Chains A and B, each alone.
Chain A
Amino acid sequence: MENRYLNPITAGVLLGIALFVSFIIAGQGMGASGAFARATAQGVFHFDPSIAHNAYAGKYLKHGNALSNWTVIEVVGIFLGALLSALLAKRIKPEITRAKGYPALFRLVLAFGGGFLIAIGTRLARGCTSGQALDGASAMSVGAWIFMLAAFGAGFFFAFLFKKQWKGVE
């Protein structure tokens, strides 16, 4: 199979059609962060059932397993779909993406730290670049743009802090 990347506009139009299909079938667009939140709640519950009384995680657990949910199943699909595409294009290769000569350990610490912050951001904003920004903006919500402008604004503002990590990465 052709292994070049899609032109960004073509990819975007296809993504928009997929989003539309999701909306007219399920009534909601694609999400991602919610599945990570649910996986955390269910995982912690396995070791410590008292999390069911937690003011936040409790709402995921009150109807039984936190993982029996539309977004969780859809997220499994995201993984499988990406895997299929990468297999066809022969793009599966272990890698730690960073600037040439940048220590791998620092890169992994920053990846973990960024994930930690993003988790908090998504709980406040009720979603991420998928479930909040793309879905909300497509459904023409004001909140999606507040979130997107704040997120990309902060990204540009703080970019100077991580210049070394990304130098020459394109």
Chain B
Amino acid sequence: MDLVFPLFTSGFISNEVNLFLALFIGMLFGFILERAGFATAAHIAPVFYFKNTMVPKVMVSAIVTAATLITLGVLFGYIDYNNIFIPTTYLWAYFVGGLIFGLGMVMSGWCPGTALAGIATLKIDAIFFALGLLAGMYFYFDIYDASEGLRHLANDANLGRYTIAKALGSEDIRVSYIVTLVVSFGLMAFMMIMNKIAKNKGE
């Protein structure tokens, strides 16, 4: 049998090994988050006031790097793209969820991943953020159970495994890749221009 990635889905490693490796994958992620300076709200919140380009720079370079490696792996036949997990796209839920998330992000200066790094470095605001997360989860469970309206919002407009290529009527991963590059670099350029404008206005 040829070596096909991902290792877990193609049966090269067992569930136990996969779970064991999850710890090290997480450690890698946490280490980089802290090194990038994301263990403090002071480097996240200013992004919303065009005072800092750290977040878009890190996110865009991560997305471009990972997307490039995945695309190459698929094109050379080492990666089975169908086994690369893509969350099911629910159009309205994603849009409304994103809006609520964004309000929460500028209010708190955290997101769930960075808050873990914040707690590790004893940021008290990260601890309160995490308590809010737990309370919010419980609230959602309750309302989801009780409200048919919320269940509709959450589960309607199901587009399935909706890749960029699929949305454009193609099956070619290169279509997805090119659009990803254009959108990523476009957004980074936009953020850098807005920061420059904000800086000039401030002087």
Contacts and interface: CB of A to CB of B under 8 A. Distances in A.
A108 B124 contact: yes
Interface size class of A (residues with CB under 8 A): 35 or more
B167 to A, nearest CB: 5
A43 B102 CA distance: 27
Query: Quick one: which of B53, B60, B112 has the most chain A CB within 10 A?
Result: B112
Contacts of B105: 114, 118, 151, 155
Interface in B161-185: 161-167, 173, 176-177, 179-180, 183-184
Given A24-B6, A132-B87, A111 B70 contact: no
Contacts of B90: 124, 126, 143
Max count, chain B CB within 10 A of own CB: residue among A95, A97, A148: A97
Interface string A2-40: 000110110111111111111111111110110111011
Contacts, number: 525
Contacts of A149: 98
Given A18-B28, A125-B101, A128-B111, A141 B162 contact: yes
Interface centre among B47, B140, B142 (most CB of A within 10 A): B140
Contacts of B22: 26, 70-71, 73-74, 77
Interface of A: 5-6, 8-9, 11-30, 32-33, 35-37, 39-41, 43-44, 51, 54-57, 68, 70-71, 73-86, 89, 91-98, 107-143, 145-159, 161-163, 165-166, 169-170
